[in-house]
Amino acid sequence: MGNAKDLAINEANYQSCDVNIVLATVEAETSFTNILGDSGNAIGYGQCWPAWWRSSFEYAGRRLNIPVPTDLTSLQQLALGNDHFSMIVAVNVIKSVWLSSGKNWDKFTHTYVGPAIPDSDYNRRLKIWEKYEGGSYQSNATGFGSNMTALGGNQEEIITSDYAIVPNSVQNKNILYGRRYRVMVTNKTGKGLDVSDLRCTFKCVKTVQMQPNISEVVIYNLNAQTENLFIDEGNRVVIEAGYEGEQYGVIFDGTITQPIREKENGTDYKLTLIAMDGDAFFGGGTINTTYVKGKTKRAIIENIVTQAKNPLTFGNISANLSTAELTRGKVVFGLARDYLRQLAQSENATWYIEDGKVNIIKVSDVPEGEVIELSAESGLIGTPTQTEMGVTIKCLLNPQIKTNRLIHIDNSVVRERMIPIIPIPTSATSKPTAPDVRNLNNDGLYRVIKVTFSGDTRGDDWYCECECINQAGLLPTLATNESSKVTN
């Protein structure tokens, strides 16, 4: 039980979940044992049902870079054979229910177990909760490997301190007040260090274009030992940011490609970490295989993503891909990204990597997730501006805003795009042309194609800047597909 308890504490700290509710729930559910329940439908330490919490299983798979099976039997085997995977799922589910219940233990229990929970089970769980309530199980680290609990294998392990809150910020109705953030750097074994106590700035750019997402993280005034450690061994950077409450989460998770050390002024040193999401797959993901007659594009895409060197997992793969089958065998040899680009363009789609997952979307696909309402009350800053293909929007930092998500704004607050001046013809035969400007969406719905997160943990920057297209308009694949390129 000791190792499972340590694992629960570390994972709760990693996911910024109350450690006491995690420990109480895991003990009440399974006594810190990785088992199956409810005829095999409830899996692992948290007894989580894949039918209800598939997203949590996918999250664990992305964290550990493990393909998540779709059939129950294989998923059971994966969870029981990998304690870290099982605990990630458990904590992710517990955190979601804990936050949605307003951190009220009674409401949490009736939601997690069910409203018909017997009194005997309720009282048993209450005693366990009272045992942990008020305890302190936070972990702290001073460098790679300090106070670490080994998990074994290639499983990632990040020891972190608690999140930081900007001094003098005010919490109001659990949203938009009280900045919250955490910046972590890990080595290749997955052991990491939280640097949130220092001044950090970041700029993270995510796009649906066929290129890696990139982030620039600047850490100020590291001591010489830690700075050299990051330069020599730093492999990955994780940025969590947002506000107190549910508007908080991971905004970037990528591999460090270049550390840059410099002196900003007479007293401040800074270390800039350039990181990319999916860099190993994008730059070195080669594929060398053959496909037999009868393979569909979806099957080929799945094989390329999972069997290439430095493989990734799946995110949002369009359900509207052609079902046509190969009429003869096909040999592929080269960079996986090139074959994905060819396959995407043949479907008038675009492919991109986000949070370590490969996504392929078409203009006809309805974006997943809830529509995000943006107004002055929910974080909208300034005036949205109309562009040739949609609108640009600036708002307070919101990790829920992702590429290929829908945003709703009131069109009445959008600044109309200035009508461009038509150039004078240079000859009698030439004809003046004006850029094609698309109308605003009648319903105020816009699809995010690029989002830039910028923040300064000791300064004013804490924003999202979004480039959006009219939901009825073109996807940016039409800008990257040379056969149908849109000229700006």
Is residue 86 over pLDDT 90? yes
Q: Return the structure tokens found at 98.
A: 């804990």
pLDDT tens digits along 227-274: 999 999 999 999 999 987 778 888 999 999 999 999 888 788 899 999
Give the model's pLDDT for residue 419. 72
Q: Return the structure tokens found at 229.
A: 């450690």
> What distances in angstroms separate CA 218 from CA 185, 229, 366, 448, 481, one per listed residue?
12, 15, 37, 26, 35
Cβ neighbours around 4 below 10 Å, total: 19
What confidence tier does 177 reach under pLDDT thresholds 50, 70, 90? low
Q: 177: closest CA among 243, 87, 256? A: 243
Which region, left, alpha or beta, applies to residue 44 given φ > 0 means left and ψ of -120 to 50 means alpha? left
Give the model's pLDDT for residue 316. 84
Is residue 14 over pLDDT 60? yes
CB contact set of 321 (below 8 Å; sequence gap of 6+): 296, 297, 298, 301, 347, 349, 360, 362
What confidence tier does 116 reach under pLDDT thresholds 50, 70, 90? confident
What confidence tier does 17 reach under pLDDT thresholds 50, 70, 90? confident
Q: Return the structure tokens found at 138.
A: 């936070």
CA dihedral 76, 80, 85, 88 (to 10 degrees): 90
What confidence tier does 180 reach under pLDDT thresholds 50, 70, 90? confident
Q: In whole angstroms, what is the distance from residue 11 CA to residue 82 CA?
A: 14
Q: Return the structure tokens found at 398.
A: 């919101």
Q: Return the structure tokens found at 29.
A: 């559910």
Is residue 336 over pLDDT 60? yes
- SS3 letters for the chain? CHHHHHHHHHHHHHCCCCHHHHHHHHHHHHCCCCCEECCCCEECCCCECHHHHHHHHHHHHHHHCCCCCCCHHHHHHHHHHCHHHHHHHHHHHHHHHHHHCCCCHHHHHHHHCCCCCCHHHHHHHHHHHHHHCCCCCCCCCCCCCCCCCCCCCCCCCCCCCCCEECCCCCCCCCCCCCEEEEEEEECCCCCEEECCCCCEEEEEEEECCCCCEEEEEEEECCCHHHHHHHHHHCCEEEEEEEECCCCEEEEEEEEEEEEEEEECCCCCEEEEEEEEECHHHHHHCEEEEEECCCCEHHHHHHHHHHHCCCCCEEEEECCCCCCCECCCCEEEEEEHHHHHHHHHHHCCEEEEEECCEEEEEECCCCCCCCCEECCHHHCEEEEEEECCCEEEEEEECCCCCCCCCEEECCHHHCECCCCCCCCCCCCCCCCCCCCCCCCCCCCCEEEEEEEEEEEECCCCCEEEEEEEEECCCCCCHHHHCHHHCCCC
Cβ neighbours around 321 below 10 Å, total: 18
What confidence tier does 428 reach under pLDDT thresholds 50, 70, 90? low
Percentage of the residues of the chain whose pLDDT score is greater than 90: 32
pLDDT tens digits along 196-218: 888 999 999 999 888 889 999 99
| Strand pairing class (313-317; 357-362) | parallel
CB contact set of 153 (below 8 Å; sequence gap of 6+): none
Q: CB–CB of 235/253 below 8 Å? A: no
Length of the chain counted residue by residue? 488
Mean pLDDT of 443-469: 92
Is residue 122 over pLDDT 80? yes
Does the pTM exceed 0.75?
no
Residue 334 identity (one-letter amino acid) = G
Give the model's pLDDT for residue 455. 95
Q: Terminal CA-to-CA distance of the chain, rounded, Å?
A: 61
| Strand pairing class (406-408; 372-373) | parallel
Is residue 3 over pLDDT 90? no
Backbone phi and psi for residue 352, each to the nearest 5 degrees, phi listed first: -155, 165
Q: CB–CB of 399/241 below 8 Å? A: yes
The residue among 317 and 433 whose pLDDT is bigger is 317
Give the model's pLDDT for residue 257. 93
Backbone phi and psi for residue 328, each to the nearest 5 degrees, phi listed first: -155, 170
Give the model's pLDDT for residue 64. 87
pLDDT tens digits along 366-412: 777 778 889 888 889 999 999 888 899 999 999 989 998 889 999 89
Q: CB–CB of 143/225 below 8 Å? A: yes
Q: At what angle do helices 105-112 and 19-30 cross, to 10 degrees?
A: 40
Is residue 76 over pLDDT 70? yes
Q: Is the dihedral of CA 323, 211, 85, 59 positive or negative?
A: negative
The residue among 486 and 337 whose pLDDT is bigger is 337
Q: In whole angstroms, what is the distance from residue 290 CA to residue 259 CA?
A: 39
Q: CB–CB of 276/213 below 8 Å? A: yes
